[in-house]
């Protein structure tokens, strides 16, 4: 019997590739995605992706996405309460596993495991322990396409914001930057790949600096066409 699974969805390349890996596992049935979104700005936290694009992305993947609105700012206690409520709801829906695209951050994994320990839902990590240099090349070679939406300028030049995540990007980033951005150096939006039925159509918008980070806005392609 396949385990009924929800995938934690950031809109980025790692969660997209985790879906690709999970779909090839005979004992896992990914039935949907879930994503926390900033309630005030109506965007995916850190990735700063518009909810409209999140829905387009999920539709083009062929899975429903459940949005979890998070207030801004949001303390740890309130975040925990919101997530506990969501976990309870999904348990009633027969969900057996939550999947995450984490690769090597032990503290993040332990946090997720602790939060699910008494829930009856099993956390799974399909990308865990993979060498990020090899994984990044595997993603690109496998057809994953993504755009850099957020840069931490303390670690990576702001010039990389809005660029394609591909071989050129991987060749030009400094050697001390994790090629999957696992330490938060950058975040992405996946728009095509083997996990997609058809690509999400996007256009590159304005790049701005905010709260110590550099964000490139992505727009639905039809929105740009309509305004031009």
Q: What is the per-residue pLDDT for 45?
A: 77
Q: What is the per-residue pLDDT for 225?
A: 37
Phi and psi at 227, nearest 5°, equal: -95, -10
Q: What is the per-residue pLDDT for 222?
A: 62
| Residues 6+ away with beta carbon under 8 Å from 155 | 177, 183, 184, 185
Q: Cα(22)–Cα(204) distance, rounded to whole angstroms?
A: 30
Annotated domain spans of the chain: 3-124, 132-227
Mean pLDDT of 56-67: 96
pLDDT band for position 139 (50/70/90)?
very high
Q: Cα(3)–Cα(7) distance, rounded to whole angstroms?
A: 12
Q: Cα(183)–Cα(194) distance, rounded to whole angstroms?
A: 25
pLDDT band for position 73 (50/70/90)?
confident
Residue owning tokens 């995916």: 44
Q: What is the per-residue pLDDT for 42?
A: 78
Say what percent of the chain tops pLDDT 70: 96
Beta strands in 15-125 (DSSP E): 28-38, 43-44, 65-70, 97-99, 122-124
What 3-state class would DSSP assign to 160?
A: helix
Phi and psi at 9, nearest 5°, equal: -115, 120
Higher-pLDDT residue of 192 and 224 is 192
Q: Cα(73)–Cα(186) distance, rounded to whole angstroms?
A: 21
What 3-state class would DSSP assign to 111?
A: helix
The CATH number of 3-124 is which of 1.20.210.10, 3.40.50.1950, 3.20.20.10, 3.40.50.620? 3.40.50.620
pTM (two decimals): 0.93
Mean pLDDT of 143-148: 98
């Amino acid at each position: 019997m396949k385990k009924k699974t929800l995938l934690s969805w950031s809109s980025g390349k790692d969660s997209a590739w985790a879906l690709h890996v999970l779909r090839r596992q005979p004992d896992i049935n990914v039935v949907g995605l879930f994503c926390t979104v900033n309630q005030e700005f109506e965007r995916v936290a850190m990735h700063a992706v518009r909810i409209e694009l999140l829905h387009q992305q999920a539709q083009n993947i062929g899975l429903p996405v459940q949005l979890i609105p998070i207030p801004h700012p949001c303390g740890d206690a309130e975040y925990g309460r919101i997530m506990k409520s969501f976990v309870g709801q999904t348990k009633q829906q027969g969900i057996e596993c939550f999947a995450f695209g984490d690769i090597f951050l032990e503290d993040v994994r332990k946090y997720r495991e602790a939060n699910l320990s008494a829930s009856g839902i099993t956390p799974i990590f399909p990308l865990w322990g993979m060498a990020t240099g090899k994984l990044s090349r595997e993603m690109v070679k496998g057809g994953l396409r993504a755009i850099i939406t957020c840069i931490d300028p303390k670690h990576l030049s702001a010039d990389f914001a809005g660029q394609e995540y591909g071989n050129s990007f991987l060749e030009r980033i400094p050697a001390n930057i994790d090629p999957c951005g696992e330490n938060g150096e950058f975040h992405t939006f996946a728009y095509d790949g083997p996990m997609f039925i058809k690509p999400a159509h996007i256009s590159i918008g304005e790049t701005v600096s905010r709260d110590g980070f550099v964000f490139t806005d992505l727009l639905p392609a039809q929105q740009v066409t309509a305004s031009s």
